[in-house]
Amino acid sequence: MKSRDRLTVDDARCMLDGEGLPIKNLSLGGFFVATDRPLILGQIVALRVLVADREIPVVGKVAWVNERDTPRQPAMPPGFGVAITRIELGDKLALVEILRRRSRRPGGTPSGTPVPR
């Protein structure tokens, strides 16, 4: 599994300032958070990813923002993409296994959404 192998998810959330926000796609390298209140491009954030009954703390950088009025990816909801910059080894291994299992099950197909640069 490569860090850019991105899966669409419907049951993952990220905790930000006590609020659970939906994660729309997830990879080893990062994820996209749907919200009407995107963060600032380049902002460093500490988040908790909740997926498959696990809570995975990560530090990341806001890599891109999808504004409602001027979306970079019109097919995506408003929100922001996070590039993971720090994750503990045990949590990374758990995430690898979660993504591997999901990529094999029905509906666990790659999102096909390109990562904007």
pLDDT at 40: 95
Task: Give the three-state DSSP class for 96.
Answer: helix
Residue 27 has pLDDT above 70, yes or no: yes
Residue 116 has pLDDT above 80, yes or no: no
For the chain, the farthest-separated pair of C-alpha atoms sits apart, in whole angstroms, at 39
Confidence of residue 2 (pLDDT cuts 50, 70, 90): low
What percentage of the chain carries pLDDT values higher than 70? 85
Domains, the chain, ordered by start? 7-102 (2.40.10.430)
How does pLDDT run across 76-108, given as a tens digit for each residue? 999 999 999 999 999 999 999 999 998 886 554
Question: Stretch 43-58: mean pLDDT, rounded?
Answer: 96
pLDDT at 4: 61
